[in-house]
Structure 1
């Protein structure tokens, strides 16, 4: 077993914790693993279920992935070196933290959730939750077909406080993608945006109730009218029939002009105002 580098397999959620703790500690030496937990029907859409483990992701050859299917277990322990967490076709979890709050460390760089019918939010950001408050390296967040999703993070007082702290959950986020989530109306709160200093790509597609991308605060603070996204390179908004506004204020970007691709948003009357740090106005590409 000392020579084992790649591992793939499926396990029952109810007894996976013992296996995790015994075999997937970082000292075990695995370079790559792709595991499926819980009931999952393979429809051929998941790349790691049909690709050689060693070449499954050319950009990240040592990805360590766990896919949760329809798992009703609510005390799941993750290996400390996990880099990619995927939840698909889960009909039990309402929030990721409900099932994963027992984890006290995280190397996660990518999270994807799809076709989870009960998922209402992703993170609680409660001070007592050791899952989401320990995520500091997240780079990619992908959400799709979440029919009950209304918010990314629960909006409570301690959440607002935790979002303003340095080194938060979204401080290293580079790519945010949401697709076919039809209940969510406001995507990003002002507190959430404060952590988007490394965000490069935002893609919002086919969200029937989406009205506002960057929500404004009720505060009279003038700083709330400026959305600072210094590394933004692409903002893509497609097929959002209820979209009224992207941003009430100004989106302040870095020294390079971002690409703005906005199509099939009939309710949007004004394109977003984008300015560069050198003071130049930029509206990007606006079909």
Structure 2
């Protein structure tokens, strides 16, 4: 189902979508949020492009249903007012099937999601974030703020296990200081790109004993690289991709992201 150049301002709470839709794309629409998204239990793919949306989901205090439990692909591009995936507390099971997350050119976005949401994304395979000029942290919260919940896949109190994460891209995030305050264990990671993130102080990724990373590029000044902290020192030795300058991998990452966006209307293959 597609919506193009529609104005939903003032009608968000009364706007209703069929509960059985599986694909939803919005282009150039005016809206602050769509509360009805929480009820779309079968939605698998959603793309939002050049819309005025502030929050993907607004969750009330008395909600009793999981939000977007079937969504697998989520692409958010050119959203000038976008503030984050969710305002409010999600129930466990929300976004449980999310596999690919793309966020580009959301210039007021300061952080993408809470730790409470991130820790439940056990199916996540790809994170691609680029050109969000105000982003200071990807995952908000952590350390003492973290509360262990049922369904949280952890090894101890300061680690998050993402067993299926294969691709991790952070490109042109000039204000980014933090990815996540907890250690992210990603034994399946095989591609990493970090470019244009001069204020990033630490890489919280741990590959465990894995040597699966075959491709990637980490760019910045030599001073930045030498000062970079690592939650797992072994990870640095397993990522021999650092270089000063060059934008080849950025272009390739953009091409891959464009290809994913162009096929968002096609059914995803079974996991």
Would you say same fold, with TM above 0.5? yes
Structure 1 distance, partners of 2:127, 2:168, is: 5
Match of residue 68 from structure 2: 135
Match of residue 114 from structure 1: 49
Match of residue 235 from structure 2: 282
Match of residue 166 from structure 2: 233
Instruction: Provide, for residues 216-254 of structure 1, a one-character-per-residue CA deviation record: whole Å limited to 9, x for no partner.
Output: 336266955313211100110000000112223311113
3-state SS of the aligned residue for 2:48? strand
3-state SS of the aligned residue for 2:85? coil
Distance 1:104 1:202, change over 3 A: closer
Q: Aligned pairs, how many? A: 208
3-state SS of the aligned residue for 1:191? helix
Out of 207, 216, 220, the position equivalent to 2:132 is 207
Deviation at 1:128, TM superposition (A): 5.5
What pairs up with 1:216-231 in 2 under 5 angstroms? 216-217=141-142, 219=144, 223=156, 225-231=158-164
Distance 1:277 1:96, change over 3 A: farther
Structure 2 distance, partners of 1:192, 1:68, is: 29
Structure 2 distance, partners of 1:142, 1:231, is: 19
3-state SS of the aligned residue for 1:268? coil
Tell me if structure 2 keeps the 8 A contact 1:127–1:133: no
The two structures have a TM-score, normalised by structure 1, of 0.64
Tell me if structure 2 keeps the 8 A contact 1:126–1:133: no
What pairs up with 1:32-71 in 2 under 5 angstroms? 65-71=1-7
Distance 1:95 1:286, change over 3 A: farther
Deviation at 1:286, TM superposition (A): 4.8
Counterpart check, 1:246 vs 2:179: yes
Counterpart check, 1:77 vs 2:16: yes
Distance 1:134 1:216, change over 3 A: closer
Deviation at 1:134, TM superposition (A): 5.0
Structure 1 distance, partners of 2:136, 2:105, is: 14
Deviation at 1:278, TM superposition (A): 6.8
Out of 11, 18, 29, the position equivalent to 1:90 is 29
Structure 2 distance, partners of 1:129, 1:88, is: 28
What pairs up with 1:150-189 in 2 under 5 angstroms? 150-154=83-87, 156=88, 159=89, 162-163=90-91, 165=92, 167-168=93-94, 170-189=95-114
Q: CA RMSD in A?
A: 2.8
Deviation at 1:172, TM superposition (A): 0.4
Larger-Rg structure: 1
Match of residue 124 from structure 1: 58
Task: Point out where structure 2 has 5 or more consecutive residues left out of the alignment.
Answer: 148-155, 212-231, 244-271
The two structures have a TM-score, normalised by structure 2, of 0.67
Tell me if structure 2 keeps the 8 A contact 1:66–1:82: no
Tell me if structure 1 keeps the 8 A contact 2:39–2:68: no
Distance 1:286 1:137, change over 3 A: farther
Out of 259, 266, 279, the position equivalent to 2:191 is 259
